[in-house]
Structure 1
């Protein structure tokens, strides 16, 4: 379980020299901070900056701190952030088990890794799906696999970019419960971008209107 707080200290992002977004915030372990606002205001750009993928044409200042780590000094692959998008983005050339194992930390025997994948699938109601082709899964099943793939990578914090927007109403409620329960249980400080106020209400954390 993570005990690190995510802190955004005087983050300022500009685009071609023009101010786009200014944010200072602190996200406690297991807390979800929701960023809301109209398209083009810079919500997803802020997530990209935290993840280390700020697009060309943008510049950022300030500090991103996770526990004792200054993430701004680290390349994206060393930041250990879990990214969940509106599209599951499963690898089509890997079966479901291969997708889940892809981001798992190195170490352990092949048998141990298979057992961990099997336990993870059982946790999300997909026991026995390890050898399934991702193309044969429903939208809700793909979303659950994408979430578990992120969690198996042992992230220290989560970034959610409109993660429920492409799900129908029933699946949206199910995935909200699943995602936020795991975030709270694992103590992951989480930044979520959404247009849907119901997402923010389900998350139960603070909201920043941009």
Structure 2
């Protein structure tokens, strides 16, 4: 069972101006949405939770995953996965290679895991493909599955649907949120899109 992602009285300032104030428990399988225009501090909050906030900002408050305080851990030790606006697939690896990169090192039967993952996102037989040959939606699905295969304890979503057209955006929303719920992952979404927030279906704050 996954644990909750807990933001305990998190406050982020820039030059003594408060950008973000959050006090929230995000339960396993829930998506907490932070809405606001560009420059309002949404991505700054993600950076703090992920562990790579610029020292330009002043931050206080704690971040917990279950009973583990991850506030001061390096980014790679937090167990937090990220999904960005761009899929960021590795161009020198095949589709299967990209998925394999996400798998923990000692995973048994990696090839079988990758094939099952491809089936799950309706890309069976695409393992040997160059990512450059995929459509935008296919790339997004591979990026999502690579994230899930890495077994994160929580997920951060940085406007992951913003570059997709309307139909594809709806399709990817359904896929992402259903997969996160199924995996029982507490997730934090930042967006400026009301439909993203409605589809997420969880608690929401506006900056």
Normalising by structure 1, we get a TM-score of 0.96
Cα distance in 1, alignment partners of residues 170 and 18 from structure 2: 36
Q: Does 1:14 align with 2:13?
A: yes
Query: Cα RMSD over matched residues?
Result: 1.0
Q: Does 1:166 align with 2:163?
A: yes
Please name the residue that 2:26 is paired with: 27
Say if 1:108 and 1:12 are closer, same or farther in 2 by CA, change over 3 A.
Answer: closer
Moved over 3 A (4+): none
Deviation at 1:73, TM superposition (A): 2.8
Cα distance in 1, alignment partners of residues 72 and 86 from structure 2: 29
Aligned ranges 1:178-197 → 2 under 5 Å: 178-197=175-194
Deviation at 1:55, TM superposition (A): 1.6
What number of residue pairs does the alignment pair up?
Answer: 207
Please name the residue that 2:149 is paired with: 152
Q: Does 1:208 align with 2:205?
A: yes
Aligned ranges 1:102-121 → 2 under 5 Å: 102-109=101-108, 112-121=109-118
Cα distance in 1, alignment partners of residues 5 and 146 from structure 2: 22
Cα distance in 2, alignment partners of residues 49 and 33 from structure 1: 16
Q: Deviations over 1:122-161 (max 9, x none)?
A: 1000001111000000000000000000000001111000
Deviation at 1:19, TM superposition (A): 2.2
Cα distance in 2, alignment partners of residues 65 and 78 from structure 1: 13
Deviation at 1:82, TM superposition (A): 1.3
Gaps spanning 5+ residues in structure 1: where? none
Gaps spanning 5+ residues in structure 2: where? none
Deviation at 1:56, TM superposition (A): 3.2
Please name the residue that 1:68 is paired with: 67
Q: Does 1:101 align with 2:88?
A: no
Q: Secondary structure at the match of 1:72?
A: coil
Cα distance in 2, alignment partners of residues 73 and 195 from structure 1: 29
